[in-house]
Amino acid sequence: MVAVQHSLPRQAPAAISRYGCMSCHAVGHGVVGPAFEWVAWKYQKQPDALARVSSFIEHGGTSTWGGMMPDLNVPDATARDIAQWILKLKPVQPPQTQGEH
């Protein structure tokens, strides 16, 4: 089970479903893209994490995970809600980076 804080945006799970995020991402494991917790791990120490992740959700682009995030025309406020939800998940180190640092 994924531990999340209670202050998460309530509309984020509905937006994740509406914009098809689960086609490429999942909780607990990667699909085509990284697991949501892996994203939380990658950005956990970056002060601009919310801005970076929400911009990526809003505009798409080439991913450092080896894929391409599509531009799904996600509104700015919705992208921020989704990014906030992702970043408040318990960070999990991606399998391919185990042992790095």
Residue 61 sits at φ, ψ, to 5 deg, of: 140, 180
Q: How far, in Å, CA of 92 to CA of 55, rounded?
A: 22
Is 24 annotated as ligand-binding? no
- Is residue 69 part of an annotated ligand binding site? yes
DSSP state of 92: -
Query: Cα separation of 8 and 36, whole Å?
Result: 14
25 annotated to a ligand binding site: yes
Which residues are part of a known binding site for heme c?
21, 25, 69
Which residues are part of a known binding site?
21, 25, 69
